[in-house]
Structures are given as structure tokens and as C-alpha cells.
Structure 1
Amino acid sequence: MAASMAGVLASNVQSKVDSSKILVVGAGGIGCELIKNLVLTGFRDIELIDLDTIDVSNLNRQFLFRKEHVGKSKSQVAKESAQRFNPNAKIVAYHDSIMNPEYKTDFFKQFDIVLNALDNRAARNHVNRMCLAADVPLVESGTAGYLGQVTVIKKGLTECYECQPKPRQKTFPGCTIRNTPSELIHCVVWAKHLFNQLFGEEDPDEDVSPDTQDPELTAEAGESALSSEAKTDGGIERTSTRAWAKECGYSPEKLFNKLFRDDIRYLLSMEKLWKKRRPPTALEWSELPDDPSGNGNTTGVIQDQKVWTVKECVDVFTECLATLKSDLQKQGEDGILVWDKDDTAAMDFVTSVANIRAHIFGIVPKSRFDIKSMAGNIIPAIATTNAIIAGLIVMQAFHILSGNLDKCKTVYLNRQPNPRKKLLVPCLLEKANPKCYVCSAKPEVNLVLNTGKISIKTLEERILKGQLGMVAPDVEIEDGKGTIIISSEEGETEGNAEKMLSDFGIANGSRLKADDFLQNYNIVINIAHVEKLDEEKEFGLVGDLEELRAKQKDEGNGAEAGGGDQKETQASDTNVVESDDDMVILEDDDVAMEKESRGQKRKADSDIEAETAKRSKSVDEANPTETIVL
């Protein structure tokens, strides 16, 4: 009887598989394994979307691609390769971004399930919202080295991708990057900023010149240093780095002496910076130091894992300048270059510049391989991990199609077995967070800022799009007049961009209504005006204003929250797991998912044991005939 029922169940699932329509978003490491699994399992109606083209670095783990495919569309080649496994499969491939306006709610509604294999948080947020709007089940997944995770999101039944806050990428104050680097990552970030200043899109926040507004200096100290330095033979003018480089014809010697001699001398004149620090050592183009570390003795070492000497770095710096200057000229008068870790000249430039600066500040240099990992936010992808996670995605899809959503789990793949000797640890799906600003009945968020210092452009680009994940927002003030300050219609509100929020009467207690028609998403933003914020932030999104006010009162600051308005620079950080081509949910090498609202953390490896042992036990008790439920 049991065997007969199992056969009927299997037949029912296979029937659903045959007739279902699936959307796969992403054709990278997980995506390649997933599309292969789907066609071999019997799924016949599949649509696949990916914006990327195939790079040679993909070939060691994305096994649907070959050397002859380099430069071609990932989605198209994945389709062609997968159809060799099952010629009966109907696969539609889109070489496009899932965030483009043509993929609206109706597009998502045609699918029975959406399976994510993305590579960035913005796209993951967007697909999450589109699936909520279309009421389509979403299977999220991610890998980070030997770690992995799969979960299911269903509107009204589980938490969505944005129900819990994600750890932000590590940031460093601009003065640390420009004046007082103490770690190699500081030098790597500075080198990437220099690339943009010389060849890319110039950003004032990425200035690489010494920072006279460093909080450790008084204004007089910075001005005095500048005045003193201007009187020397090595005097430097604080002009555009790009303009200065063009004037000197991108001369390697002149650029080197400005960046690594004159600017360093200028920093040394800021004596207060070096009272408790090791001061840097200025370099001279004609007097490069010998290599005291033995880095030059690298017989038998793979080229990318060799640590270059200072002289080798200067040679590479010279070669890269010539190549990048030529590439820039090919782009025309207003052309720019975009930094890419897989572009040889761009990556060599960052490696050489970062290591030269590291030498100056007494920081241990690293190989090109190590710096590429830091500069590209890369955690090496493991093909086996991708394969395991792709298999788990398909198993979750089986449960959804068979109507057994209660059998769906969040499954963690750990580096080492837990106390029950299991690498795969299933946990019950979490309920939706009632205060989630995406999937709650009436999404609201509290925005703390100085309305006289935040522009409409900053509100749109850094807050609505950057922090709240909107794509094409429209914003009006709930003032009884419905004043529109941001419109998704091109040209309609461009004149507002540089105006401050206060110019529109936005003050403490004001409410803004923001809509994104593409995502079928709207949110109310409550404005809380303060003069300054803690931790040198320009703005903050908080869940409970009363808690914030209580904290401010306890600190005796009234409406002001202390701090400064110093800019921070986002760093490449290998602990923030957003890999180069694989969608990732795990946000830290040792953290599987953080549950801040409950003051609880589920951790990977050894730290996950207590929580997952409890959750796994509850899963086993609910399904006593199953050893592990996926």
C-alpha cells in the first residue's frame, strides 16, 4: 500500500514537472548546474535570463561553457548546451537584465516558480519584490566557498528576502583611505579610486589627494601644511587628478613622483597624524629601494601568486599607464574606462599601485591573486558547492509543485558536520516580519537625516535606489497638495536634483509617499530631522523613532545625535560574500543568516550547532519517517 501511494505521489509530481513553467534568473556557477538539473529531471518549459557574457575565468566551474564560448552570451550558450541533455526541452534565453522595465508583473505571473541564481543584492531585492507582486513562489540560493544556502519565499506564508536586514559592506572613512592607511585593503581601495580619477568616471568622494579635513587635524594644521609644501620644490596644486595627468601626458615618472613622493611629503608635514603612528616613507622615481623581503626569489611560483618587488611594481605601473592611456584615447574626447578585475591592464594597475602605497606605509604587500580577491570582493567559488545547492533548489521546487509547501525548508550547507554529523542542516521557514518595509501590509520606514543637507538627488540615488532597492521611484509629499519631487518620467523633475529637502518644506514629521510602478511597490517614508547623526553617517533608516529619541535623550543631546559629516568609502571586503558570478545569500564567512529582530543569530560551522540542533530536531519530530527533510 505504501509503495502504491508513493508511486501515485511520484506520478503526480512528474506530471506537475512536465507541465510547469520555470524562470531561472542567472546562468553563472549555480545557474549552469541548475539548468542542467532541470532538463535532466524532466522540466520542459524553461526561460533563462542573464546579462553577462562568458569570461575565461568562468570556465573552471561553469561547465556548460567552453573556451570557444568566451565572449558570448551566458544565457544563450547555457540554453544550447542544456538542450543537448534533453532535446525535448523548450528553453527561451534572454541576454538581458531582469531589472529592465519590460519584465513587469505580468511577465512573472506566467511562471509556476522562479529560481534565483543571481550575483548582486540589488537584483535579488528586485526579483523578491516582483515575485511578491506576482504572488509566485521564489527559491533563493547562494554559495560562499564551502558554504551554501537555499530557502523558499512565498507571499503571506514566509519571510521575504528583505524581511531581515543584511550586513552592509564594510566601509572606511575617507581620511583613512587618503591619509593613514593601516591595512592593505585601504591601499587597494585607494588604487581603485586612483584608476577612476585617471581613467574612469570622476567622483569627488574618491579623491586620492591628502585630506586636509581629517578629523585628527585642525583646519590651521591642514592649511599650514599646504602653505609650507607649496613653497618647496615639490609643491603640488590641488587640481583635478585627471586634468593634471593629461597636462603631463600621463608621464609615469611625473605621476609617480606626485603620488608617491610629493603627496607623501605633504602628509608628513601634517605632524599631528604621526604622533602615534609609523610615518610613511616618500619614494623617489630615480632611487627605488632594493627588495629587503626576498620577494624577488620566487622560482617556481605561479606568476599570479608572486609578490612583486617595488621595482617590479613600478615597471608594471609604467606598462599599464601606456595601455590604459591608449584605451582611453580610443573612447573619444569624453570617453571613460570602467575598472574590471578581469581586464589585465586594469588589474595590474591596481595591484602595482596598491603595493607601492603599501610599501610606503609599512604594510605587507600581496600577490596579484590576493589583491584581485580583495578588489573584486571574491570568495573563490567551489564547483561541488554549486552542484549541491543546485540539487537542493530542484528538491524545493518538487515540494512547491506537489503542493507540499510545509515540506520546504531553509537548508544550510556547512563547512564541517554539526553535532549530529550532518553537513546539510534544514531549518523551518521563518514567518514574515510584520515590520518588513517590503512585504508588510502597510510598508513604512523612518528616515533620519538633516533635511537642509540632503539633496533630492541623494534621496533618489542613495536612499530610494541604493538603500530601499527601488528602480524607478516616484515621490510626492503628503502635504495635502501632492507635491511631486521625484518623477520616473524623464525630464519631469530634473530641476529638483540639486535642491535640498528643506527647500520643499520637508521637515521633522513630514511624510513622503514613494511608488515604484515597475515593482508594484509603494512605501511611506517618515522624516525625522536631526542636525547630525552618530557614526559619521549622512542618513539612517530606523525601525522605531521612539527608541531613537530615547537614546538621544539618554545621551543628553536633545535632537542632535552627535558625530560628524565625514564621508565613508566602501571597501572591497572578502568577508562580504557577494561573489563575482554566483548569487550569494550568506553575508559573512561565518554567518549563515542574521535574525536581528529576534536578537538571534544562526551561524555557520561550529557556531550554528546549538540553534540548528534545536531546529533540526523540530523538523525531524514533525517528519518522523524522514532522516533529513529538504
Structure 2
Amino acid sequence: LWQDKFATIRNSKVLLVGAGGIGCELIKNLVLSGFGEIHVVDLDTIDLSNLNRQFLFRHSHIKQPKSVIAKKTASQFNPDVNIIAYHANIKLDAQFDTAWFSSFDIVFNALDNLEARRHVNHMCLATNTPLIESGTTGFNGQVQVIVPGQTECYDCNPKPVTKAFPVCTIRSTPSEPIHCIVWAKSYLFTQIFGEDDDFEAAAQPDEDQKELEELRKESAELNQVRDALESDNFDQLLFNKVFTDDIERLSKHEEVWKYRKAPVALDYSKLFKKAQTLDINDVLSRDQTVWSPEENLAVYMDAIKRLKQRALVGGRTTLVFDKDDKDTLDFVAAVANLRALTFGIPQKSIFEIKQIAGNIIPAIATTNAIIAGICVIEGLKVLCPLGAEPCNAFLARRPERFLSSESTHPPNAECAVCGVARATVHANLEELTVQTIVDALARDLEYGEEISLITDQLIYDIDFDDNLAVKLTDLGIASDSFITVVDDNETNRVNLELLV
């Protein structure tokens, strides 16, 4: 009996997403448990701050890919294990498609990024692949067993919403470093390089309407600057807009600054004289030091140069902030500090800004080790039943009971991710139109008129039929994309997810 189970383990193909705190412990456990083939994906590189808890790494490994070094070190524990490392983004890299995911017997998530977790959860559901989800925050940790069709998925229960700040505080009257970081990450970066967040939609009912009107004017002006992205002096145009013109306009509102110091506009030319002489690699290497104004300008200019190259690929490419994406983090850190400088707010090192922008809670090595151990135990229960049903586990710093567990729960029928029917569409996306899909849904599946088609945006509903004649490729829909069909019928409602 046990020989059969060991054979199952040895012949299993495992995917581990994340080679950080939990990931290091997990790959060690997986190797020592005898799993024969382990694929490790992580886009991050090793940082000095990782060494106190990510035991597979040493000082000599700093700046090298985590996945590659994790493979190299863990292979020494059991040379017979085949470990394949990928220094890549699990969400954005085209090689990680549904065919690739379906080749695995089980997936272990060791991520600290909500969107990446949701993506892996989605892919596992689409390929019917078991997933062991895990996470830690300080002394707390949890393990969730996700078996498609049998248990709750990662999105069956709502996740805590990040604290929101009043729009006018972020855009006009910041008083704390986090206000400047949120402004840099969620406003300036998205409006220049991403899909602009609708600040009016986020406005509170009691926001000052006069101030909101000023913000509308600022946004219109910023859109004009965005249109000049290809110009050689774009960095100066943007700087003058947000750190000179906008600040000078704000400082004239005397009633706002009656009880606090008014902001002071920055002069690009004065800072540029010294900034252009700095060694940018030396500045960026001092990630735990608060940079000078000139150093922040140097990083700002260098980051814009890198982001422009990416954003202008194929006409215009939308970029998304990620704390592990060096280009986006450098930009956010530099502009957050420059904004803090204008308002007399203490500035932060890029190391601190990464923690705040990524909502990072300091990790504890012991917590990671316990959670990683439970992950493998639950994974073994899924792959080769040991007489005990898989369960979810919770770790908390409580004197009466630090570790608890509960039985897995069935899927939430109302879940927008797993509470849907699924189908795969094989078609030429360069020829397939939205109209063809709508017609097929009505003809073959008897959907009524009250349906909506959604990707990461609305592409069709009964009140929005502009895209009916548009081909899917012209809507940015590539192979291995998901289209959700939302059935708005009040009776016999069935939502459907199409993999095209």
C-alpha cells in the first residue's frame, strides 16, 4: 500500500508558484518528501532583506533570481528530483497557459500578491487542477485546500478591502507619507501608464465640490501631458505639471493652508543640474537609504525612460503597478518622495515604500515553516488519500490553541469565479466576432437577450452593442483568454465562462 503511495508521489508533477518565505520552506519539504518533478515560478530577485527568513539564499545570491537559486540549493537535498525554474511572471507570461497548467497534478501557491493568487486560482479551476493556497501575516497563517468542483475556491469568500483615503486628501492635502505613495501608485502611475482610475467614482459624498472641479481640471491637463509620452522631454513636461504648476495652484488656496504650511513648488532645472551627474546604479543600490531630492529626480528620469520603452510597444501598452516590478516601483518611489518634499512630509526609502505600496506585513520564519509543512500534508491527502480528509488550517498567536483546522466547504454557488458553468471555444480569433458569440449563445444554449459578455471590461450587453461586428483580436482578446457570460435573466439563471 505505501509503495503505491510513494510511487504516486514520485511520479507526480508539481507546480510551486512563489519562491519567497513560504516558497523556500515548501520546495525543501517537497524535495525531501520525494516528489519527482517540481516546477518553480517566481519573478523576483533576492534582496538583502530576504536573508533572515528565506534560508535557501545567501549574501552572494543577492540580485539573482529567487527561482533559479531555490532550484540550485534545494537540488542538493535530493539530487534525484527534477526541478525546473522559471524567472517569470505567472500572470503575464504567455507560456503559462491552460495547457501548461493542466499538465500538473497539483499546484502550491506561495504568493503575497492578491491578483496573482486570483489568477492561479482561476487557471486551476479552468484546468480542474487541485490547488493548495497559503499565506502568512506575522504570527498568523492559513492553508486552504481547493479542489475544483468539490471545495470553495479562493474567491468564494470576499477578501478584506484595502483602506481607502478621501480623494481630496490624496490629491490636494496629503499629510502622511502613505498619502503620497497612494497618489503616486493609484493616481499618477495609472493615469500616465495604465488605465486611469475614476477619482470621481471614488469620491466621498461629502467631498468639497469646488475642489473636485479643480481636480477635474488637473486631470484634463494631465491627459494632455500623457499624449506627449513619445516626446524627448516628457519627463520634464510631467514634472513641471505635477510638481510645479499644480503645486503653485494649490498653494494659492490660502484658506486650505490657514493652519498648516502651504506646499512649495519644485524647480526642475535646479534639481537637474546635479541629478544628471549622478551614477544612477549607485543611487538605486542604496535601497534602504532615503534619497536626496536630486537622487529622486535621477531615479524618476531613469524610470520614465524604462517605462516609456515598455508603454510604447505596439503603439500603446497598458502597464500595471507591481511592487516586484522594478521599473514601476522605482517610478512610484521617486514621485512619492518628490511629492512628499513639496508638502514638507517625511520621505521614505524605496525599501519602505515597497512595503507600504505592496501592503507587506513583516514575515516570520517560524510561521512560514509551519504553514509550509501543513501545505505538503494537505497536498499528500489530495494526491494519495491517507485515511483523513483534506482540511483547511489556521495558525494564530493564541495561548489556548495556536493551530486549528476545519473541514473544507463546498463551492459557493454565488461565487463569480467558480459558481459558473465552463466551456472551451476553438475558433480563429482573427475571424470570430462578438456577434457570432451572441448568436451561438442564443441558438445553441438558449440564452435570452439579457446577457453581458465581460473580459477585464464589458464588451457587450443589451444596452452596449457597439462591439457586435468587432473581431475578438481587435478587442485585445488573445488565445487562452476568459470571457464571462453573465445571465441577467431573473429565473433559471446560469453564468458561463468561455475559454477561447
For normalisation by structure 1, the TM-score amounts to: 0.55
Q: How does 1:463-502 map to 2 (within 5 A)?
A: 476=438, 502=463
- Deviation at 1:411? 1.3
Does the CA-based 8 Å contact 2:250-2:263 persist in structure 1? no
CA distance in 2, matches of 1:220, 1:41: 59
Could you say which residue in structure 2 is the equivalent of 1:434? 413
**Are 2:262 and 1:281 equivalent residues in the alignment?**
yes
Offset of residue 187 of structure 1: 1.5
Structure showing greater Rg: 1
Q: Is the 8 A contact 1:313 1:356 kept in 2?
A: no
**Partners in 2 of 1:197 and 1:39 — Cα distance?**
41
SS at match of 2:377: helix
CA offsets per residue over residues 571-622 of structure 1, 9 Å max, x none?
xxxxxxxxxxxxxxxxxxxxxxxxxxxxxxxxxxxxxxxxxxxxxxxxxxxx
Q: How many Å separate the matches in 1 of 2:213 and 2:97?
A: 56
Deviation string 1:83-140 (CA, Å, 9 cap, x unpaired) is 2111111233344454556555554454443222234333333333443444443211
Q: Among residues 3, 27, 30, which one is paired with 2:19 in the alignment?
A: 27
CA distance in 1, matches of 2:190, 2:98: 40
> Structure 2 counterpart of 1:391, which letter?
G
- Counterpart-to-counterpart distance in 2, 1:111 and 1:169: 33
For residues 16 and 74 of structure 1, what CA distance do their matches in structure 2 show? 28
Taking the TM superposition and a 5 Å limit, the aligned residue runs for 1:89-104 are: 89-99=81-91, 103=96
Give the secondary-structure state (helix, strand or coil) at the position aligned to 2:438: strand
RMSD: 5.1
Shift of 1:202: 6.1
- C-alpha displacement at 1:59, in angstroms? 4.0
Q: Does the Cα contact within 8 Å between 1:129 and 1:519 map onto a contact in 2? A: no
Shift in Å, 1:324? 4.5
Residue matched to 1:54: 45
Q: Which residue of 2 aligns with 1:266?
A: 249
The answer for unaligned runs of 5 or more in structure 1 is: 1-7, 230-235, 289-302, 444-473, 489-493, 507-514, 529-542, 544-630
Q: CA separation in 2, counterparts of 1:127 and 1:321? A: 33
User: Hey, what does 1:115 align to over in structure 2?
Assistant: 108
Q: 1:505 to 1:119 in 2, by over 3 A?
A: same
SS of alignment partner, residue 410 of structure 1 = strand
Query: Which string of whole-angstrom CA distances, capped at 9 and with x for unpartnered residues, describes residues 154-204 of structure 1?
Result: 234322222212233344454442223354322212234686489x62655
- Counterpart position of 1:185: 178
- CA positional deviation for 1:34: 0.8
Matched, 1:373 2:355: yes
Compared CA separation, residues 527 and 305, structure 1 to 2 (3 A): farther
The 5 Å alignment of 1:530-541 reads: none
- Is 2:117 the counterpart of 1:124? yes
Letter in 2 for 1:417: R
Inter-partner Cα distance in structure 1 for 2:438 and 2:382? 40
Of the three residues 224, 227, 249, the one matched with 1:240 is 224
Matching residue's letter, 2:340: N
CA shift digits 1:531-590 (9 cap, x unpaired): xxxxxxxxxxxx9xxxxxxxxxxxxxxxxxxxxxxxxxxxxxxxxxxxxxxxxxxxxxxx
Distance 1:109 1:332 in 2: 32
Q: Distance in 1 between matches of 2:113 and 2:245?
A: 39
| Distance across 2 between alignment mates of 1:23 and 1:71 | 24
- 2:378 is aligned, of 396, 400, 422, to 396
**Residues 49-76 of structure 1, C-alpha deviations (whole Å, 9 max, x = no match):** 4141423344443333345545554433
1:410 aligned residue (392, 399, 416): 392
- Residue 465 (structure 2) aligned to one of 504, 509, 525: 504
Instruction: Sort the Cα spacing of 1:126 and 1:326 in 2 relative to 1 into closer, same or farther, 3 A.
Output: closer
Residue 367 of structure 2: aligned partner: 385
For the Cα contact (< 8 Å) 1:396–1:408, is it kept in 2?
Answer: yes
Q: Distance in 1 between matches of 2:247 and 2:170?
A: 13
Residue 216 of structure 1 is matched in structure 2 by 208
- Residue 36, structure 1, aligned to residue 28, structure 2: yes
Distance 1:522 1:239 in 2: 31
Q: 2: CA distance between counterparts of 1:132 and 1:332?
A: 32
Asked if the contact 1:23/1:48 (under 8 Å) is kept, the reply is yes
CA contact (8 A) 2:395 2:402 kept: yes
Partners of 1:338 and 1:122 in 2: how far apart? 11
Cα distance in 1 for residues equivalent to 2:374 and 2:185:
38
Which residue does 1:590 correspond to in 2?
none
Kindly indicate whether residue 121 of structure 2 is the aligned counterpart of residue 159 of structure 1.
no
Q: How many residues align?
A: 434
> Following the alignment from structure 2 to structure 1, what is the Cα–Cα distance between the partners of residues 197 and 336?
21
Q: Give the 3-state SS of the residue equivalent to 1:378 in structure 2.
A: coil
Shift of 1:281: 0.4
1:144 to 137, 140, 159: 137
Change (3 A) 1:196 1:121: closer
Q: Is the 8 A contact 1:130 1:520 kept in 2?
A: no
- 1:470 is matched with none
Change in 2 beyond 3 A, CA 1:133/1:376 = closer
Q: Structure 1 195/105 Cα, relative in aligned 2: closer, same or farther at 3 Å?
A: closer
What residue number does 2:72 align with?
80
Identity %: 37
Residues 160, 439 of structure 1: 8 Å contact kept:
yes
Distance 1:237 1:137 in 2: 49
Give yes or no for contact 2:452–2:487 (8 Å, CA) kept in 1.
Answer: no
Deviations 1:217-257 (A, max 9, x none): 3499859x98xx9xxxxxx97773457899995798x9877
Question: Could you say what secondary structure the match of 2:372 adopts?
Answer: helix
Q: Distance in 2 between matches of 1:143 and 1:430?
A: 21
Q: Report the counterpart of residue 403 of structure 2 in structure 1.
A: 424
The answer (yes or no) to whether the contact 1:39–1:85 under 8 Å persists in 2 is: yes
Taking the aligned partners of 2:104 and 2:145, their CA distance within structure 1 comes to: 15
Match of 2:488 in 1: 526
Q: 1:262 to 1:278 in 2, by over 3 A?
A: farther
Q: Distance in 2 between matches of 1:156 and 1:243?
A: 47
**Paired AA for residue 39 in structure 1:** V
Residue 120 of structure 2 aligns to a residue whose secondary structure is helix
CA contact (8 A) 1:516 1:522 kept: no
Determine which structure has greater relative contact order: mean sequence separation of CA pairs < 8 Å that are 6+ residues apart, divided by chain length: 1
1:351–1:368 contact (8 Å) kept in structure 2: no
- Is the contact between residue 191 and residue 353 of structure 1 (CA under 8 Å) also seen in structure 2? no
Contact 1:257 1:283 in 2 (8 A): no
SS at match of 1:191: helix
Q: 1:167 aligns to what SS in structure 2?
A: coil
In the alignment, residue 427 of structure 1 is paired with which amino acid? E
